[in-house]
Amino acid sequence: MTPARKTVVAREWIIFALSFGLGGHVALGFMLHSSTPDRWQTIGWKALFFGLFVYVAVQAGRSIFLAIRSYRTKHDG
């Protein structure tokens, strides 16, 4: 594996880990502020879904940003 490829893989894993960490924190916030007694039974699934949502949102944002940037460089140059 080339060093450039290792950098790309490392960057994607970092984004993945941060997204799921943020999703877990959001789920924990929902659980701590919820008034239902069975709130701790579903925290794992909620953390997974929130993390997945954050990851998809970040990747969609990156794709839109890269598309706009490539469009501008193509039409400015």
Q: Report yes or no: 19 and 49 within 8 Å, Cβ to Cβ.
A: no
pLDDT of residue 53: 94
pLDDT of 64 reads 96
Q: Range of 45's domain?
A: 3-76
DSSP 40: G
Q: Tokens for 21?
A: 């960490």
- CA dist., res. 48 & res. 33, Å (int): 18
What whole-number distance in Å separates Cα of residue 53 and Cα of residue 63? Answer: 15
pLDDT averaged per 10 residues, the chain (length 77): 91 94 90 78 86 94 93 81
The predicted structure's pLDDT at residue 31: 85
Q: Cα separation of 13 and 64, whole Å?
A: 20
- pTM for this entry: 0.80
Q: What is the total count of domains within the chain?
A: 1
